[in-house]
Amino acid sequence: MAILSTAFAAEIKDLKILKLGEYNSLTPDEKQVIVNKATERPFTGKYYLNIEKGVYLCKRCNAPLYRSSDKFDSGCGWPSFDDEIEGAVKRIPDSDGRRTEIVCSNCGAHLGHVFTGEHMTQKNIRHCVNSISLNFVPKAVMNEKKAYFAGGCFWGVEYYLEKLNGVSSVVSGYMGGSRKDPSYEQVCYSNAGEIEVVEVTYNPNIISYEEIARIFFEIHDPTQADGQGPDIGSQYISVIFYTSDEEKQVAKKLIGLLKEKGYKVATKLRPAEVFYKAEEFHQEYYKKHRKQPYCHGYTKRF
């Protein structure tokens, strides 16, 4: 889950390549917090006031834990986050019988504690994390790329693709058509060629475009030509909007593999156009409403 590729880790000073089950060596101070579950003094951690964009990793195993977009200043003296990368953090009852401890899901390293009911952000949650438990990778070093996929209602596509390790964000929006910055109502009721699309931002040193595209074909029905599930209409068709000839060739290869397996693939390939972000209501819809996708699900096809 958490292993960095050689190319990625080589760009990051003081991070070494790990094999599964191996851990970084720790200083006595780091061990005291990460292994023995101590707490560093408030307002002393190197990441407390860090506002640079990037990703926070586990100091012991390099597992991606938090995105900078979820960090906020709580005034508590430790880095605070109101969300974690999907599946990266495990909650366990603290030995004091009152608090909830948070540890790295990959290696069990002690991170800090999680609190709810403080109403500091809309998500109403605070991960209070020791800086000494973290490493930070600036976005500039990550060399992220963007990819665009349409597979029915963008809520479901976003839900599954944002779970992938190496994907830093998935944004729901629109592409195609003749209007500039269309609204959801326009797309639904007076469609002028717009298609519901997700913009995937990912680190190619952690996950490849082909890996994302394979999952895309497995979380929706690429054989349905008129929409996706119960969502029927031109705005819900299956399309890969490629940004380069390399992406186009990868998509053609995957479609060819599916056709060899007997699938009548309806997915279209089109060059990427201007992407318009959808209204905030549509972003992370299922996470906000604590629901499951109704017309998307995982089916192994490759």
Q: What is the pLDDT of residue 12?
A: 47
Q: What is the pLDDT of residue 139?
A: 78
Q: pLDDT at residue 190 above 50?
A: yes
pLDDT tens, residue by residue, 281-294: 899 888 887 888 88
Q: Tell me the mean pLDDT in the region 2-28.
A: 57
Choosing from 104, 107, 128, 295, which is the catalytic residue?
A: 128
76 in active site: no
Residue 17 is predicted with a pLDDT of 42
Instruction: Quick: pLDDT tens for 60-113.
Output: 998 889 999 999 999 999 999 999 988 899 999 998 889 999 999 989 999 999
How much is the pLDDT for 87? 87
**Backbone CA torsion sign across 31, 35, 36, 42:** positive
Give mean pLDDT, residues 37-46: 96
Whole-prediction pTM value? 0.62
What pLDDT is recorded for position 18? 52
Q: What percent of the chain has pLDDT over 90?
A: 74
The predicted pLDDT at position 4 comes to: 45
- 212-238, pLDDT tens digit by residue? 999 999 999 999 999 999 999 999 999
* DSSP letter string, 210-261: HHHHHHHHHHS-TT-SSEETTEESGGG-EEEEESSHHHHHHHHHHHHHHHHT
Length of the chain: 302
Give the model's pLDDT for residue 292.
Answer: 87
Question: For residues 272 and 204, what is the distance between their CA atoms, to the nearest angstrom?
Answer: 19
pLDDT band at 20 (very low <50, low <70, confident <90, very high): low
Least confident of 8-17, 171-180, 182-191, 269-278: 8-17
- Looking at residue 43, what is its pLDDT? 96
Q: Which domains does the chain have, with CATH numbers?
A: 6-139 (2.170.150.20), 144-289 (3.30.1060.10)
Q: Average model confidence (pLDDT) for the chain?
A: 90
Section 259-282 average pLDDT:
96
**Distance of alpha carbon 198 from alpha carbon 154, whole angstroms:** 6
Q: 196 pairs with which residues across the strands? A: 174
The pLDDT assigned to 288 comes to: 83
Helix axes 209-219 and 154-161, enclosed angle (nearest 10): 130
User: What is the reported pLDDT for 276?
Assistant: 96
Would you call 58 a catalytic residue per the annotation?
no
- Residue 53 reports pLDDT greater than 70: yes
DSSP characters over 156-183: HHHHHHTTSTTEEEEEEEEESSSSSS--
Residue tagged active-site, from 58, 61, 104, 153: 153
